[in-house]
Chains A and B, each alone.
Chain A
Amino acid sequence: MPLNSDLRIRLACKLKPEAKGVSELLEKIASYGWSGDRSRLSKGGLAARITGISLDEDELMLSVDFDDADGLDDLAKALGRECWYIDVYYHLRGELAQKAVESLGLDLNSKNILRMRESGVELKVELYPDAGAATISYRAGWGELNRGIVKKVHGRILGSGSRRGLKKLLRWGK
């Protein structure tokens, strides 16, 4: 199930230059417990949809259907071992966007693209005040993934114990 209308997490994975396409990647990440096909990956109760594959099969885009920090870290690491780098996107709306942007010391009311260092990576923050939306993204290679960057940034954006934090924020929004 999708998270909710106020939060989407997307991963764009750039395959290594020597990689032999998405099918090979899927075979490889199966050894980390992530199984599926060209439209969906799952492990236990966690699932992600493959929403796009570039025509030359050097990149794929996934939409993650959960907000669990450990699960996201596990998926990113599985992909990261086989990819050149991964771009992680948080698409936020409404109250959740407001709070996340404020927690980074920014203001959602000005249309802007900002870059800032956070936990050793460059965060790109795109603010869309007309839509009450924000997109926060960063790029991570295997080194950053191995240092646990996914959980650190996840906690920074959604608050530690993200599910609890998310539910709290959504309650405020009602």
Chain B
Amino acid sequence: MSEEYKREHVFGLDYGTSDFKFGPITLGEIPEVVENRGYFVDKSSLMSRLMGVKRDVVVGRDVPKFLESKEDLAERMVYPMRNGVIAKDDLKAWKVIEEITRYALESFAPEDEEFNGFYVVASLSIIAPRYMYEKLFEIFRRINDKRVLVKAATVIPQPLAVAIAQKIPTCTVVESGHGNTQICPISMYPIRNAVIALNRGGGAANILTAEILKDAGYGDLAKEESLVRRVKESIGLIPRDLDEAIEYGKTHLDEIRVSLKIPGTRIKIDLGDHSWTRFLIGEYVFNPGHEIFQSYFTRGMPKPSDVKIGDTYFYGMMDMAESIITSIEKCSVELQPYLYSKILLSGGNFGWTVPENLRGVAVRSDEKLREMLLRKGVENVSVTITGDPKYSVWKGCIVYGYAVPVDYQWRWEKFEGWMKIA
């Protein structure tokens, strides 16, 4: 199989904690995105039999058509990558991964007779253990049973994909998605024993947003996760300094107040005198340890907890600057200045915007982190948000697949190269 064929058929798969980004090189720079989830249909029900539902698990855009009651939802909906790691024996989660992978590849597999499978580059969390790599390769082989969709495959850690997309060999990647945050120093390869994982991502800010909505009298809306996420994305702000921003918000209500209308509904959200709480949403992502959040914890909002998954500790409450410092300080002293001088922020959790009239009080993610690191005494810091942070892992998969020659075979000792699948 020629190098030329490979370069036309590179296919990226980014298994995010909430969203699954996928597509071939020929899609350009924007992948397809569906939620990384699967719904297990009750096939024993009379209606399923009457309607001829044959699938065990539904993934992709069809999921909403099969949803039953809210009670069933909790039991039947599986988000396999919630923590970035799937237990070896979690059969349901692996089934979802298999189906969503098949869905992605079938969506773009050409009917062309020249097509002989994609060169698939999959990306997993940096903390994914070896068995997850093995399971993925098994899945690719099973998918080929009906029709060859995967010619060869490789798996790379998400932070490395970000560094590849940016073409920066020495850097610190902070990849923050819905469920968790990975801090990974890279010096040609990821420095695995310096990786720090946080048990919080965009989902934690959603939980706080739900509490803010409840306090403002929208308790009924706070139960709808997708609506809460939309509110967070529309009104959430990152403060440069939380105390100063709150003070500003309370004294400049007209500037801070926002009214959000949900299209296609009669719902209109206005936080009124509590509009300063918009700053809490962004702050919580970076520093949930601020004393102001105690009142929410006291009233029952779950605190991001320290958990151990596999061999990895996920810290719940460590502030983001502290976690970057802890990670970089695990590397050699000689390397540390280079790691501070290229901190790359990637993932949907860094895509916050700043309204023009609040510039200075509210800041972007990179400005916030730079400020936090400076306050902790770290100088000569450069923090950059990758372009299209939500898609940078997928882009890195495509660039990697494009660059690695077809005859570079997979090596378990290095976790790199192409594993021949078909």
Q: How far is the CA of A2 from the CA of B387 in the complex (A)?
A: 10
Q: How far is the CA of A154 from the CA of B28 in the complex (A)?
A: 17
Taking a contact as CB atoms under 8 Å apart, the answer to whether A131 and B23 are in contact is yes
Contact partner of A8 (CB less than 8 A), chosen from B3, B29, B387, B408, is: B29
13 contacts between A and B (CB under 8 A): A8-B28, A10-B28, A12-B7, A38-B167, A51-B395, A52-B398, A54-B405, A91-B26, A91-B28, A93-B28, A111-B110, A130-B32, A135-B27
Chain A 37-65 interface residues, beta-carbon cutoff 8 Å to B: 38-39, 51-56, 59, 61, 63
Taking a contact as CB atoms under 8 Å apart, the answer to whether A63 and B29 are in contact is yes
Give the chain B neighbours of A8 by CB distance below 8 A: 28-30
Residue A128 at the B interface, CB < 8 A?
yes
Taking a contact as CB atoms under 8 Å apart, the answer to whether A131 and B167 are in contact is no
Contact partner of A91 (CB less than 8 A), chosen from B29, B399, B405, is: B29
Give 3 nearest A-B pairs by CB, closest first: A91-B28, A8-B28, A135-B26
Q: How far is the CA of A51 from the CA of B32 in the complex (A)?
A: 19
Q: How far is the CA of A10 from the CA of B30 in the complex (A)?
A: 13
Residue A145 at the B interface, CB < 8 A?
no
Residue A89 at the B interface, CB < 8 A?
yes
Known A-B contacts A128-B108, A130-B32; the reply to A56 vs B402 at CB < 8 A is no
Main secondary structure of the interface of A (DSSP, over half): strand
Give the chain A neighbours of B23 by CB distance below 8 A: 131
Residue A126 at the B interface, CB < 8 A?
yes
Contact partner of B28 (CB less than 8 A), chosen from A12, A52, A135, is: A135
Residue A5 at the B interface, CB < 8 A?
yes
Q: How far is the CA of A111 from the CA of B111 in the complex (A)?
A: 8
Residues of A within 8 A of B (CB-CB), count: 29
Give the chain A neighbours of B111 by CB distance below 8 A: 111-113
Taking a contact as CB atoms under 8 Å apart, the answer to whether B7 and A113 are in contact is no
Kindly report which residue of chain A lies nearest to residue B402, judged by CB atoms: A52
Residue A86 at the B interface, CB < 8 A?
no
Report the interface size class on chain B: 20 to 34
User: Which residue, A39, A91, A112, has most C-beta atoms of chain B within 10 A?
Assistant: A91
Chain A 99-158 interface residues, beta-carbon cutoff 8 Å to B: 111-113, 126, 128, 130-131, 133, 135, 137
CB distance from B61 to the nearest CB of A (A): 8
Give the chain A neighbours of B387 by CB distance below 8 A: 2
Contact partner of B167 (CB less than 8 A), chosen from A39, A89, A128, is: A39
Taking a contact as CB atoms under 8 Å apart, the answer to whether A89 and B26 are in contact is yes
Contact with B along A1-43 (1 / 0, CB 8 A): 0100100101010000000000000000000000000110000
Give the chain B neighbours of A135 by CB distance below 8 A: 26-28
Binding site for B on A (CB under 8 A): 2, 5, 8, 10, 12, 38-39, 51-56, 59, 61, 63, 89, 91, 93, 111-113, 126, 128, 130-131, 133, 135, 137
Q: How far is the CA of A10 from the CA of B29 in the complex (A)?
A: 10
Q: How far is the CA of A2 from the CA of B112 in the complex (A)?
A: 31
Give the chain B neighbours of A2 by CB distance below 8 A: 29, 387
Taking a contact as CB atoms under 8 Å apart, the answer to whether B32 and A56 are in contact is no
Q: How far is the CA of A133 from the CA of B29 in the complex (A)?
A: 12
Q: How far is the CA of A8 from the CA of B32 in the complex (A)?
A: 15
Contact partner of A55 (CB less than 8 A), chosen from B112, B167, B405, is: B405
Taking a contact as CB atoms under 8 Å apart, the answer to whether B30 and A5 are in contact is yes
Give the chain A neighbours of B112 by CB distance below 8 A: 113
Contact with A along B98-117 (1 / 0, CB 8 A): 00000000011011100000
Taking a contact as CB atoms under 8 Å apart, the answer to whether A51 and B107 are in contact is no
Residue B85 at the A interface, CB < 8 A?
no
Give the chain B neighbours of A53 by CB distance below 8 A: 403
Residue B67 at the A interface, CB < 8 A?
no
Kindly report which residue of chain A lies nearest to residue B401, judged by CB atoms: A52
CB distance from A97 to the nearest CB of B (A): 11
Known: A61-B402, A91-B27, A126-B110. 4 other contacts (CB 8 A): A8-B29, A12-B7, A56-B405, A130-B108
Give the chain A neighbours of B7 by CB distance below 8 A: 12, 54, 59
Residue B404 at the A interface, CB < 8 A?
yes
Give the chain B neighbours of A39 by CB distance below 8 A: 167
CB distance from A91 to the nearest CB of B (A): 3
Give the chain B neighbours of A56 by CB distance below 8 A: 405
Taking a contact as CB atoms under 8 Å apart, the answer to whether B107 and A130 are in contact is yes
